[in-house]
Amino acid sequence: MSSALIVWIYGLSGVGKSTIGRELANFLRGNQLGVVEIDGDVVRDIFGNDLGFDLQSRQEQIRRIQILVKALESQQSVILVTALYSNEALMKRNRELYTNYFEVYLSAPYEILCARDTKGLYSAVMNGETKNVVGADLEWNPPNTYDLNIDTSTTSANDAIAKILSNIKFMFLDKHHWKGL
C-alpha cells in the first residue's frame, strides 16, 4: 500500500488556510478520495489548549502535528494540514519524515491580513489586549523553501484550490491511481 499524500498548508492568520483547506478537502471527498483534515486550532483543542502562543509553544504544537501526521501516513488518503507556523528546521523535518509531501505557503500583504482579521488577533495586539501573535508582535520568517506559493490577496479560494490540485495531481495523485480530478 502506498503512503498518504501530505499537503501542508501554512501562512499567517487571516491568509485563508482553513477556508482553502476545508474547501480542498470537500472537493477531494466529492471525488471519492479519503481525506483527513488536521487543523492547528483543532489540535490545540484536542490536547486541552495546554500550550501558549510563544515561540517554544508554537514549535511544540508543530511537533505534535508532525507526530499525528506520521501516525496517519500509512493510510491511503490525503492528509491536509493547515497550520500557521513556519520554521525552516521544522518544515525541513517534514520533508525528511514524509514520503509524499507537498508544501503550500499562502501569503498576503500584512495590510490585507489586518483588514481580514477574522479572529481579531491583529487588532487585539494593536490595542494591547494580547501578545504572541505571529506577524504582529512575534517575528514572522517567511519560508525560503516550499512547493507552491499562493498570494491570497490576488487569488480566490477556488483558484488557489485549482493551483494546488494541478500540482498534486501530477506529482502524487496519478502515482496512486486516484481518479476523478
Please report, in tens digits, the pLDDT of each residue of the chain (181 residues total). Answer: 457 889 999 998 889 999 999 999 999 888 777 898 988 888 888 888 788 777 788 888 888 888 888 888 887 788 899 988 767 888 888 899 888 899 999 999 988 988 887 777 777 667 777 776 676 766 788 888 999 999 999 999 999 999 999 898 866 655 554 555 4
Predicted pLDDT at 1: 40
- CATH code, domain carrying 166: 3.40.50.300
Which domain, by its residues, includes 84?
5-108+142-176
Q: Which amino acid is at 36?
A: V
In a domain, 123, yes or no: no
Inside any domain, residue 171: yes
Measured CA to CA, the distance from residue 114 to residue 127 in angstroms comes to 13
* Distance between first and last Cα of the chain: 21
Catalytically active residues are 86
Confirm whether 122 is domain-assigned: no
Q: What is the pTM of this model?
A: 0.84
Residue 98 within a domain: yes
Tell me if 116 is assigned to some domain.
Answer: no
Tally of domains within the chain = 1
